[in-house]
Structure 1
C-alpha cells in the first residue's frame, strides 16, 4: 500500500493544500488544461484521496464525477477552503476565475448562481486577509515567512528533491504564502527590495547545497539528479505537480527542474551556476503574469 503523500513529500509543504484547491476551480472550463501523463493522473488521484481523508470528506473522493461536474468541484473547493484556509492568493485566484465563469454564462442558472455566490465569498475572505496582512506589516510578514522557509531548507526538510528542486519547492512555498502576498500588495519599491533579497538568499542556499561558490558552473545533471530516498517516485511526481504551471518557453529553468519526465527545455543552460539557476527561478516564478495563473 502506498504511504499517504501527506505523510511523505507533502509533509513539510504548506502550499499543497492551496494549489490543490485552486486546481479544482481553475479546472472548470479551462482551455489551458492539456493532456496529463498517466503517472500524473494517478498521482493526482492519490493526492485527492489523501486530502479528502485528512479533511474528513471521503465521500467526495470521486475523481471522475468531479471532472465532469462543475458544481461538485466548486462545492468541494468551498468546503476545503473552509477547512484548510488556503490563503490570500488561492482565494483571489478562485474568486476571479468563478467571476469569469459566471460572466460567460455557459451553465444552468443554478450553477451560475453558485459561481457568483461562492466567488464573492472567496473574494471577501481575500479582502479580510489583505487587511490583516497590512495591519501586521507586509514586510515583517514577508521576512518571517522567508526565514521560516529557508530554515526548513537548511534543516533538510526538502532533501528528498534534487538540489535545484529544493530551491523550486522553497520558492513555491514563498509564492503561495505571506511572502508572495507581500510582493503583490506592497509598493513597487518594497517589492523590488523583497525580490533582491530573495535572489540573494536563494543563490546562497543553492550554492551551499553543492559546496561551491555562487558563480561556479556545474553540468545541469548535477543540479537535477534526484537523491536516493524512500519513495523517490513520490518526490518526483510531487515536484512535477508543484511545477505544473510551468511552461517550457516562458519558464525554461523551472520547467526543466520540475518536469523531469520531459526533455529539458531549450532555454535551460547546460552549464549553470547556483546564481544563474536561483535568479532564473525567482524571476520565472514571481514574474507578474504568472502570479495569478495556475495549470
Structure 2
C-alpha cells in the first residue's frame, strides 16, 4: 500500500502534531510505501510501531475490507443466476497470530513458510487483485480472521480465484491450521497442476500432519520443476526419514549438504546424516 493511505489515517486519528506528520511525509520519495513511512515515523520517535499499526488496521484496513465485502455481497444480490458457495470461516478469536516459520523437526529447527509474492500471483481483474492484496496486508498486520473472510469472498466472487486460494492456504499454515489446507490445496492443484506455491504449502502441511509418504511424493514432484529450491532436498530427506526410508533420506541429506547454504539447515542435515549412517 502507498504511504498516502497511512498518512491520511494518522493525520485524522493519531494524537500527535499533524504538522510534524506532514514534515515527515514530505521527506518521502514519490510512491513511497506504508513500510517506508512507518519506519520514518518510528525513527523520529513521533509514534511507536504498535500505535501506528493499531490505527492503520482499525481505521484503514478493516473498514476497507468490510466495504469490499459489502460491495461484493451487493453485486451477488444483483446476479442470483448462480447459487453462491457457502462460506465457512474457520479462524476466530483475538489470540490469532501469523507465523512465518513452522516446526517439522520436533522443535529442533524452525522452517520458513513460503509466502505469496504479489508479483508472482496471477489475477484476472483489478478487483480480484485489490481483494487478495488487501487480505495479505490484513493478515500480516494482525487481522488474519478478517483476511480469511475476504479471501473466501474472493474465491466465490471471482470464479474460484487461484490467487485467493494460494493465499488462503498460506494463511491457514501460518496460523497453525495445517489441516485446513488440504481441501483447498487439492482443489487449487486440480485447476492448476503447475502451481508450485500451493504444492509446497501442501507438502509442508502434510509433514506437520504426519502424512510423510504423501509429502515425499509431493517433494519429488517439486524437484521435477525447472527451478528447484535446495531446501526441497532437505524437506524431502526429512519426510523420507520419518517414513523409515533411511537410505533415501541419507542420499537427499547428502545432496542438500552439497548445494544447500542455510547454516542451520546444514547443521541439522549433517547431524541427521551422521545419525542415520550409524544405523
Q: Same fold (TM over 0.5)?
A: no
Question: Radius of gyration: which is bigger?
Answer: 2
Larger RCO (CA within 8 A; separation ≥ 6): 1
**TM-score calculated relative to the size of structure 2:** 0.29
